[in-house]
Amino acid sequence: MKTKLLFIGVLLISLTPSFGQTVGTRFTLPYYEGFKYDVDTKLLTEGAIVGQGGWQTFAADLVAVAGSNPIIVSDPGWNMGGLPTPTYNALNFWSSGDDPVINFTSQGSQFVIFSSFIFRVPTPVDPLVDAWNDTTGEYIYSFGKTSTTNGVNYTSNVYLKKTAAAAKSFNIGIAETNTTAAGMLVWSSGTFNYDTDIVIVIKYQIDAANPTGLSTLYINPVITSSEPLVSNASTTADLTTSARTNLDKIRIMKSAQAKTPYIILDEIRVANTWHEVVGLAAPLGLVNNEISGLSVYPNPVVNGKLFISSSNNNEKQVAVYNLLGQKVLQTKTTNNSEINVSELAKGAYVLEIKENGASVSKKLMIQ
């Protein structure tokens, strides 16, 4: 993977250091981080805003406690799950400290953005770093946007929580922002064990079909050049708090000794397409993945009847998934033919439509 380096040219911006501001490098996408830094060096030096490779933290987050910041470690020998093989080093962090941030070009008001990484929660050999006992949940990674009112707003937050305080297993979830409030955080089904390599891909989409935003989590997806149809978890963003336009950063979160586990993390990518975020070439023959003239109505559905039409009256394959990635409806339709969704519970779903080799995903609301 690291042989396919996706670093692009950089734009240097000098600003007065303060919470939420960019003081170092802002990257264009796609972005790749393989941690090609010397082993045993700090990604961020305690008390400094700008660190190695364009990484930075916020002035309001600065700490001066020696030994608290993320350390570069040797590649632990990953099971990449289909991703390209890494060739450089990795990042090790736990407990509290400065939160590393990478800034990239603002994404505007409508966009789709992905980020991927691989991580492991090793069994610590030092009892001083084996204090993780949180069963409620804390996030370790997220997208973010610069805010003029409160510093930074976050979305697509990747959460971890232990299955029990003394257990060596945990759950993974995604939240529309940095909260564990009911309805704003979705946990995937199943648990994950210590010393297991886990590939994560997060997606945030905000557009005409998803005006309040849609966060999607993939855990150990099948790695091909095309985005999988089924995710592990999704959550729709609330308009008043979490419609995250102008995303421009990713953040690694270091919360507290009891809340942030001992983690090794590597192979960060940020991109606007699936194939780039998993380090692969574009699918052969892919020119346009849109369905011309596609219309889905009514949305929200209020009477149990859904209609789909497009410029070509060709047969369409339709699938509906709930927010846990479970398929709850599958059918075929043509223009303006009724699709019965009356048996679906009220709430948010992901609608997948295929026609003539093109595939489109949209948020579907049932009322």
pLDDT (0 to 100) of residue 19: 35
DSSP 3-state of 297: strand
Query: Phi and psi of 64, rounded to 5°?
Result: -125, 25
User: Mean pLDDT across the stretch 53-71?
Assistant: 72
CB of 237 closer than 8 Å to CB of 155: yes
Q: How many CB atoms lie within 10 A of CB 145?
A: 17
pLDDT (0 to 100) of residue 292: 80
Task: Check whether 262 has a pLDDT greater than 70.
Answer: yes
Give the model confidence (pLDDT) of 181-231 as tens digits: 877 899 988 899 999 999 999 999 988 778 888 999 999 998 888 888 778
Mean pLDDT taken over the chain:
83
pLDDT (0 to 100) of residue 128: 66
Amino acid (one-letter) located at 219? I
Give the model confidence (pLDDT) of 329-344 as tens digits: 989 998 888 999 999 9
Q: Which of 58-62, 113-117, 308-312 has the highest mean pLDDT?
A: 113-117
Q: Which CATH number fits domain 295-366: 2.60.40.10, 3.40.50.2020, 3.40.50.300, 2.70.70.10?
A: 2.60.40.10
- Of 9-13, 59-63, 120-124, 125-129, least confident by mean pLDDT is 9-13
Q: Which residues of 13-50 are buried (b: 16+ CB within 10 A; e: fewer)?
A: eeeebeebbbbbbbbebbbbbbbebeeeebbbebeebe
Of 310, 309, 313, which is closest to residue 339 (Cα–Cα)? 309
Is residue 360 within a helix (H) or strand (E), and if so which, with residue range? strand 358-366
Give the model confidence (pLDDT) of 173-191 as tens digits: 999 888 888 778 999 888 9
Task: Check whether 4 has a pLDDT greater than 70.
Answer: no
pLDDT (0 to 100) of residue 127: 67
Alpha carbon distance 331, 247 (integer Å): 35
The residue with greater pLDDT, 267 or 8, is: 267
- Give the rounded percent of residues in the chain with a pLDDT score beyond 70: 84
CATH 3.10.180.10 fits 31-278, yes or no: no
With bands split at pLDDT 50, 70 and 90, how would you rate the model's confidence at 238? low
pLDDT (0 to 100) of residue 22: 47
CA angle 79, 85, 90 (to 5 degrees): 75
pLDDT (0 to 100) of residue 124: 82
User: Mean pLDDT across the stretch 275-302?
Assistant: 76
Alpha carbon distance 299, 351 (integer Å): 11
CB of 72 closer than 8 Å to CB of 43: yes
With bands split at pLDDT 50, 70 and 90, how would you rate the model's confidence at 253? very high
The residue with greater pLDDT, 268 or 357, is: 268
Task: Check whether 249 has a pLDDT greater than 50.
Answer: yes
CA atoms lying within 13 Å on the CB side of residue 304:
5
Q: DSSP class of residue 300?
A: S
DSSP 3-state of 274: helix
pLDDT (0 to 100) of residue 18: 37
> What are the residue ranges spanned by the domains of the chain?
31-278, 295-366
pLDDT (0 to 100) of residue 324: 65
Give the model confidence (pLDDT) of 147-158 as tens digits: 766 578 899 999
Task: Check whether 6 has a pLDDT greater than 50.
Answer: no
* Report field, pTM of the whole predicted structure over 0.85: no
